[in-house]
Amino acid sequence: MARASGSLQRGTVVPDSIQGVCAIVLAAGEGRRYRERRDEDKLLVSSSGAIGAPPVLAETLSALTGMTERLLVVTRDDNLQLLAWLERQAGRFNAEILAVRTNGLGHSLAQAVAHRSARRGWLVALGDMPYVERDSIARLVAAIQPQRLMVPTYQGRRGNPRGIGADYLDRLLALEGDRGAQELFASTAVEEIEVDDPGVLQDIDRPEDRRIR
């Protein structure tokens, strides 16, 4: 169910480059590998060792704010700590919250696209990747079209976030379990966008994955 919304205000002028694109932030995992080391929600810990660094999820959302027509955060309906944080903070990012029961990443994504359609497509981001640069996001968003699958690469390695065109809606709705959209991106139809941004490869699975500053 949707717990809160941050829809665009009436009269807001949406740039052509972002019209018809919805960013989906997947934040419904359990973060087991992080919790094995520290009993904390990794999305709410500081994104770096710098004094006053924002939480991981805040940094992720900040990079995405204003980059697409809509911004949707998907989390578990039983993660009360994260939901409470989102309900306090979502307005800062003009983000909508979708709280779901899920059996994995793919199921979360299926529920997200069912909840929020998009004329051109979706930019699918991971909540635990706070270091992606806005320039990289802008390039991906500008390239999203209904028939396209887009992936950023850094030094030849594929990363995230990824662009999925609206023509793939039916395949997204059929997703189950934890594999996400990996099968889509095994296709030769995927278009790679090379970026000078190591952040597209850097997720936070363990405490030592956070940048020092």
Give, in degrees to the nearest 5, the angle at Cα 166 between 160 and 172.
Answer: 70
**What is the reported pLDDT for 50?**
86
**101 compared with 51, residue with greater pLDDT:** 101
CB proximity list for 113: less than 8 A, separation 6 or greater? 24, 122, 169, 172, 173
The amino acid at 181: A
**Cα–Cα distance for residue pair 165/189, rounded to 1 Å:** 12
**What is the reported pLDDT for 106?**
93
**What is the reported pLDDT for 188?**
75
**What is the reported pLDDT for 5?**
44
**Cα–Cα distance for residue pair 106/82, rounded to 1 Å:** 20
Helix (H, G, I), strand (E, B) or coil at 158: strand
Judge whether residue 6 has pLDDT over 80. no
**What is the reported pLDDT for 2?**
47
Confidence of residue 4 (pLDDT cuts 50, 70, 90): very low
pLDDT digits (tens, 9 = 90+) for 108-127: 999 999 999 999 999 999 99
Assigned token pair, 182: 């990996």
Q: Compute the radius of gyration of the chain from its Cα atoms.
A: 16
H or E element: which one contains 4?
strand 2-4
| Helix 134-143 with 56-64: angle, nearest 10 deg | 50
pTM over the 0.75 mark: yes
Average pLDDT over residues 20-42: 87
Compute CA 116 distance to the chain's CA centroid, rounded to the nearest angstrom.
Answer: 14
Task: Give 185-207 as a 3 state SS string.
Answer: HHCCCCEEEECCCHHHHCCCCCH
**What is the reported pLDDT for 12?**
58
